Structure 1
Amino acid sequence: MSTEPRTVTVNILVAKSLEIDEPDWCRDPHTGAQFRPDITHNGPEIYATFDTRLGTVDYLRAWISHAPYAALQAELLPVIAIEIDAEIVSLDPDGLRAFTAVTRAHLDTLDQLADEADHIRGGGQ
């Protein structure tokens, strides 16, 4: 039997604060990140709003999102995240025309968001 002390390596989770660069466009409070790959910068949300008989519907939410420490290479550059809510709304013909007008205007805004993401990907803030 050896009289030398034995050692073992044990993996433990060490919790400490991490200071990271924050892009100008980020509005995320970063409260849910526990590990570096969890860190995601999210810009302000934009969405289309349409009033129906049952209330206001916000749809086609979009925002610039960037996970600089992501495990997947494809997520290392800023992307545009889109949330499409599936809500059924019944409209008469005039209501549908109003809905498509709002949607067309919002699509122009989404194009502007894509331009902003291109600018950020090119090194701009």
Structure 2
Amino acid sequence: MSDPRTVTVRTLDHGEVTAAEPFWCLGVHADGEFRADFNHQGEEYPLVVDTVQVATASLYQRPFAERTTTAPVAVLEFDASHEFDSVALAGLADSLVVYAVGPLHDLVTRLQLLEDGDAS
């Protein structure tokens, strides 16, 4: 059995902070933030319409936030506003359906497994 991974970052309010790093985390962390802003982020599941990324979903956890859970949450972020004519809007609608039953559903399943196991 391998040792749990950890990461150490320098924070503005608590100096060096070491945290357990979940297996799903990509390992990208920033120094110089507040401890409560420290986060783990997983693989991104992008929604791309006509070569434009419209949204992305990923696993996300802030272990030192005031309100946190031991399991990660899923974050869905939409990019800035986009303008659509009727053809482009129809393409977006079709892409949303494919995204919902494909990558987003896969992320739901992964999150449920993590919640059931309470694995971080």
- TM-score, normalised to structure 2's length? 0.70
Counterparts of 1:122 and 1:67, CA distance in 2? 19
- Asked if 1:25 is matched to 2:20, the reply is no
Counterparts of 1:102 and 1:66, CA distance in 2? 27
Superimposed CA distance per residue, residues 60-104 of structure 1 (whole angstroms, 9 cap, x where no aligned partner): 2111111122211xx2231111112342333344x4433322211
- CA drift at 1:31: 0.8
Which of 55, 60, 74 is equivalent to 2:55? 60
Of the two, which has the highest radius of gyration?
1
Counterparts of 2:62 and 2:52, CA distance in 1? 29
Instruction: Name the amino acid aligned to 2:95.
Output: V
- CA drift at 1:41: 0.8
CA contact (8 A) 2:37 2:62 kept: yes
CA RMSD, 1 decimal: 2.3
State the secondary structure of the residue aligned to 1:112: helix
Q: Please, which runs of 5 or more residues in structure 2 have no aligned partner?
A: 1-12
Same amino acid, percent of matched pairs: 25
- TM-score, normalised to structure 1's length? 0.68
Equivalent residue number for residue 46 of structure 1: 45
Equivalent residue number for residue 8 of structure 1: none
Instruction: Name the amino acid aligned to 2:59.
Output: I
Equivalent residue number for residue 122 of structure 1: 116
Equivalent residue number for residue 90 of structure 1: 84
Superimposed CA distance per residue, residues 30-66 of structure 1 (whole angstroms, 9 cap, x where no aligned partner): 1146443222111111111111xxxx32112111111
State the secondary structure of the residue aligned to 1:122: helix
- In structure 2, relative to structure 1, the CA distance for the partners of 1:14 and 1:111 (3 Å cut) is closer
State the secondary structure of the residue aligned to 2:15: coil
CA contact (8 A) 2:14 2:35 kept: no
Aligned residues: 105
Equivalent residue number for residue 105 of structure 2: 111
- Structure 1 segments of 4+ aligned residues over 6 angstroms from their partners: none
The structure whose residues are more often strand, as a share, is 2
- CA drift at 1:111: 1.9
- Asked if 1:70 is matched to 2:69, the reply is no
